[in-house]
């Protein structure tokens, strides 16, 4: 999830309505409804920013020390049992939490930990393991993490490792007759599998692969991502909507529902905007605009003054499925802000803030008609503070810092255990049934957004910086 190259600081209340910010897009035009501001509740005054930044860093270190003490070199820590978890394949490790943490360690000034992490990668990380990996996850976590680590440290070994992973992932793209990548690839053999491909799997590589092409001068990575995008765009409906998943070999839609901005399509849209901004690629930006307008026009709904997104059949625009919203969709508030739909993004953020009034720790899935938890677990997800960070950068509005801090405190009060931070089983019961996992993305995302909002670190270019869907800083790390 990432931003605009030019950030203006203006009050949300005086911001131009989103529709007026939308550049003209050639082709079939869709009218975007005029946004209506969702009222926001007064938030408590914040402690001093430097004090919050210190608190955030302390909590990051609590999680990091939990990982390093119990699971160093493994993908993820189970902070309650002290065991570890293999993320990609049983019995295989990629030291995923280490790779995911690199640029966060840099931004927080944890330079000794960063050096030790890089040393581990140089000594142990093997991109040629006999492991069948999810291409989407390997790109955003491993390739992205290593590229961001390279930007943070200048260590060429990290870039070389990123490139080797990308080379081993490329068969998923190049062996596909349509260009839509197979979902898995064996890193050692190059064998590909998985023909039913969700949009996020088809279109979440252009930021990492584009940056890798820029750094190496090798266009194969960017070309693979663009070919996949073109294959999907060619299959949009007459309404300029997309379904959920396609067959990589036939190119036919498997699931025709447009479920944006929910998973498993979420980051497809995010990377059209992010790739456009990072690579200065007008085609990607135009596609983002082209596909976003009908999502806003046909899928946005207002319930009790809050803004949500329903699912529709991408061919007819008719509503399908129950009124559900995944927590993962909360990233879309920031994306809309960055993409030129600021008031709509602000409204959507306020909807999620209302959900947090009801559930201080967000459940995985809500019924948006009454904010009831449908899937009651919480996977320690970062989407809400991601949007807070994006909207704060665009507007400078203190509301986003207040609400992000509230989110942070709730996480600290509910999901902190002796060995770090953990997912939980049911946010609706007292005690929340702590689970036993710190997902590796927690080291990449959750506290990075808070740190960037409160620390004012000189190691980040607040104007030009761009982050991936996994929170990797792919542009804008500064020496310091």
Residues of this chain that bind ligand DMJ (CB under 6 A):
267, 328, 381-382, 441, 469-470
Comparison of 185 and 328: residue with beta carbon closer to ligand DMJ: 328
Shortest distance (Å) from residue 420 CB to ligand DMJ = 17
123-126, long-range: CB < 8 A, 24+ apart: 124/73, 124/95, 125/94, 125/95, 125/99, 125/161, 126/94
Shortest distance (Å) from residue 85 CB to ligand DMJ = 15
Comparison of 222 and 265: residue with beta carbon closer to ligand DMJ: 265
Sign of the four-CA dihedral 213, 448, 17, 34: positive
Comparison of 239 and 473: residue with beta carbon closer to ligand DMJ: 473
Comparison of 55 and 137: residue with beta carbon closer to ligand DMJ: 137
Identify the CA nearest to 121 among candidates 96, 144, 104, 139.
Answer: 96
Comparison of 224 and 328: residue with beta carbon closer to ligand DMJ: 328
188-194, long-range: CB < 8 A, 24+ apart: 188/128, 188/129, 188/130, 188/131, 189/130, 191/132, 193/132, 194/248
Shortest distance (Å) from residue 442 CB to ligand DMJ = 9
Shortest distance (Å) from residue 50 CB to ligand DMJ = 28
Identify the CA nearest to 284 among candidates 269, 298, 295, 296.
Answer: 269
The whole-angstrom separation of Cα 369 and Cα 351 is: 11
Nearest-CB residue for ligand DMJ: 469
**Residue whose structure tokens are 């809050």:** 306
DSSP H or E segment with residue 267:
helix 266-279
Shortest distance (Å) from residue 130 CB to ligand DMJ = 24
Shortest distance (Å) from residue 304 CB to ligand DMJ = 26
Shortest distance (Å) from residue 162 CB to ligand DMJ = 17
The Cβ-side half-sphere exposure at 132, using a 13 Å CA radius, reads 7
The 8-class DSSP code of residue 142 comes to I
The Cβ-side half-sphere exposure at 70, using a 13 Å CA radius, reads 23
What is the CB neighbour count within 10 angstroms for residue 43? 15
Comparison of 299 and 469: residue with beta carbon closer to ligand DMJ: 469
Comparison of 381 and 393: residue with beta carbon closer to ligand DMJ: 381
Shortest distance (Å) from residue 322 CB to ligand DMJ = 22
Residue 38: φ, ψ to 5°: -85, 125
CB 404 within 8 A of CB 449: yes
Comparison of 267 and 387: residue with beta carbon closer to ligand DMJ: 267
């Amino acid at each position: 999830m990432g931003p605009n190259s030019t950030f203006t600081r203006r009050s949300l209340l005086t911001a131009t309505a989103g529709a007026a910010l939308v550049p003209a897009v050639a082709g079939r035009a869709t009218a975007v409804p005029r946004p209506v501001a969702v009222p926001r509740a007064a938030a408590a005054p914040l402690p001093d920013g430097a004090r919050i930044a210190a608190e955030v860093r302390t909590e990051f270190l609590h999680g990091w020390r939990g990982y390093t003490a119990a699971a160093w070199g493994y993908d993820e820590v189970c902070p309650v049992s002290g065991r570890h978890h293999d993320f990609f394949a049983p019995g295989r490790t990629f030291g995923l939490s280490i790779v995911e943490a690199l640029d966060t360690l840099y931004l927080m000034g944890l330079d000794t930990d960063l050096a030790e992490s890089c040393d581990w990668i140089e000594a142990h990380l093997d991109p040629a393991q006999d492991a069948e990996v999810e291409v989407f996850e390997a790109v955003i976590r491993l390739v992205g993490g290593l590229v961001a680590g390279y930007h943070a440290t200048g260590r060429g070994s990290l870039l070389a490792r990123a490139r080797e992973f990308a080379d081993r992932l490329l068969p998923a793209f190049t062996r596909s007759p349509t260009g839509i990548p197979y979902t898995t690839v064996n890193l050692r053999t190059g064998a590909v599998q998985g023909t039913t491909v969700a949009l996020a799997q088809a279109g979440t590589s252009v930021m990492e692969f584009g940056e890798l092409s820029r750094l190496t001068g090798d266009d194969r990575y960017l070309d693979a991502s663009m070919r996949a995008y073109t294959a999907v765009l060619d299959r949009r409906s007459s309404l300029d909507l997309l379904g959920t998943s396609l067959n990589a070999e036939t190119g036919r839609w498997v699931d025709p529902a447009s479920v944006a901005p929910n998973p498993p399509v979420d980051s497809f849209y995010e990377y059209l905007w992010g790739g456009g901004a990072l690579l200065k690629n007008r085609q990607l930006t135009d596609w983002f605009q082209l596909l976003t307008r009908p999502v806003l026009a046909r899928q946005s709904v207002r319930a009790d003054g809050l803004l949500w997104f329903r699912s529709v059949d991408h061919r007819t625009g008719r509503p399908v499925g129950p009124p559900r919203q995944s927590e993962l969709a909360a990233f879309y508030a920031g994306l809309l802000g960055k993409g030129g739909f600021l008031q709509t993004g602000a409204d959507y953020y306020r909807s999620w803030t209302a959900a947090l009034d009801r559930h201080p720790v967000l459940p995985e899935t809500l019924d948006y008609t009454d904010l009831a938890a449908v899937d009651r677990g919480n996977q320690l997800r970062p989407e809400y503070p991601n949007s807070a960070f994006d909207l704060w950068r665009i507007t400078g509005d203190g509301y986003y810092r207040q609400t992000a801090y509230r989110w942070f405190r709730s996480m600290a009060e509910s999901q902190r255990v002796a060995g770090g931070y953990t997912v939980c089983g049911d946010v609706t019961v007292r005690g929340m049934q702590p689970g036993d996992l710190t997902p590796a993305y927690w080291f990449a995302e959750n506290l990075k957004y808070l740190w960037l909002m409160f620390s004012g670190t000189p190691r980040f270019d607040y104007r030009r910086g761009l982050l991936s869907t996994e929170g990797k800083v792919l542009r804008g790390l500064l020496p310091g």
